[in-house]
């Protein structure tokens, strides 16, 4: 479809250097949303919902969000390295100008414990991606029938993830966009491309009430610019968490979260833009809500929010 020629221009503006997937500031609080290996790592049902409003004030700027749920599938473990399982799903909506991307994936993960705390996990997302164009959101100087014709592409989608964790630290990698989707009507090289995500974190316990958690994520498209977030969180009694961060050449980050009754968590984050985009839009906002059927034990006050 000729209408997808417009997509290239829009995609260049809002996903510079081929960064096709939305990047979330609250990646640490929503690990399963980008890596299927985290399915079932909690001992109970874990549900997240997030909304991101990027570059507020920039016409046609990106708006993204998702809903995820994961659950452990228990099996009797007779010895270490006996497989345990997790499952879940993710629905993600991403809008850039007149273009929308909807992804629905189901997840499966296999977990292998080396001892009580050390575990390696492998996970797979499999589902569909729908890419669409809404001409009502487009304004052009010259009338072109192609621009005003709606379009949609539906294609398979898959991701693979790996996780290694101990009681106080973790390392993880995810390979997203495993199935290239070609847009043949746009150009020979126009397609979704593989994205690699690497992340890790460590918890330093100060006392039974306070802990510090440095964490980092690196996002690398195959043919694009690498993005890295450096974060530092202060957790107080596993109830209040505050954080600061930096995204290379892009933004300063701030976080605040509160847990309610040990099962609900409300998280807000703010990006202050450092790139040239700040001339028209300085702020990005993210808000998320989490529900877990796990009940935090009162004796465990300084626990890592990931584990």
Q: What is the pTM of this model?
A: 0.83
Above pLDDT 70, what percent of the chain?
79
Listed range (1-10, 60-69, 96-105) with the worst mean pLDDT: 1-10
pLDDT one-digit tens code per residue, 94-117: 988 778 889 999 999 999 988 888
pLDDT at 265 over 60: yes
What's residue 232's pLDDT? 97
Of 50, 49, 41, which is closest to residue 162 (Cα–Cα)? 41
What's residue 15's pLDDT? 38
Q: Average pLDDT, stretch 15-44?
A: 84
pLDDT one-digit tens code per residue, 212-256: 999 999 998 877 788 999 999 999 988 999 999 999 978 999 999
Tell me which CATH code domain 2-292 carries. 2.40.160.40
Q: Average pLDDT, stretch 260-271?
A: 92
pLDDT band at 181 (very low <50, low <70, confident <90, very high): confident
Of 179, 182, 163, 183, which is closest to residue 171 (Cα–Cα)? 163
pLDDT one-digit tens code per residue, 185-196: 444 566 778 899
Q: Which residue did the predictor score with more confidence, 8 or 160? A: 160
């Amino acid at each position: 479809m000729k209408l997808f020629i417009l997509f290239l221009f829009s995609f260049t503006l809002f996903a510079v250097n081929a960064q096709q997937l939305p990047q979330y500031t609250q990646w640490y609080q929503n690990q399963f949303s980008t890596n299927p290996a985290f399915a079932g790592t909690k001992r109970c049902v874990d549900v997240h919902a997030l909304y991101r409003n990027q570059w507020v004030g920039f016409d046609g700027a990106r708006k993204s969000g998702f809903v995820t749920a994961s659950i452990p599938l228990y099996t009797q473990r007779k010895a270490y390295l006996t497989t345990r399982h997790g499952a879940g799903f993710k629905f993600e909506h991403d809008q850039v100008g007149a273009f929308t991307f909807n992804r629905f994936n189901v997840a499966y993960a296999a977990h292998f414990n080396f001892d009580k705390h050390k575990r390696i996990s492998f996970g797979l997302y499999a589902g569909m991606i729908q890419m669409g164009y809404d001409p009502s959101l487009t304004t052009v100087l010259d009338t072109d029938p192609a621009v005003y014709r709606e379009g949609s592409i539906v294609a398979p989608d898959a991701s693979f993830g790996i996780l290694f964790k101990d009681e106080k630290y973790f390392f993880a990698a995810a390979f997203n966009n495993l199935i290239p989707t070609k847009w043949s009507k746009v150009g020979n090289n126009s397609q979704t491309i593989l994205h690699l995500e690497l992340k890790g974190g460590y918890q330093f316990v100060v006392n039974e009430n306070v802990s510090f958690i440095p964490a980092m994520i690196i996002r690398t498209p195959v043919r694009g610019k690498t993005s890295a977030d450096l974060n530092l969180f202060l957790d107080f009694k596993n109830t209040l968490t505050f954080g600061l961060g930096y995204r290379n050449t892009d933004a300063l980050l701030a976080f605040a979260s509160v847990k309610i009754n040990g099962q609900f968590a409300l998280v807000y984050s703010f990006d202050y833009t450092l790139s040239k985009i700040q001339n028209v839009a300085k702020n990005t906002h993210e808000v998320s809500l989490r529900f877990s059927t796990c009940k935090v034990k009162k004796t465990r006050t300084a626990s890592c929010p990931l584990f």
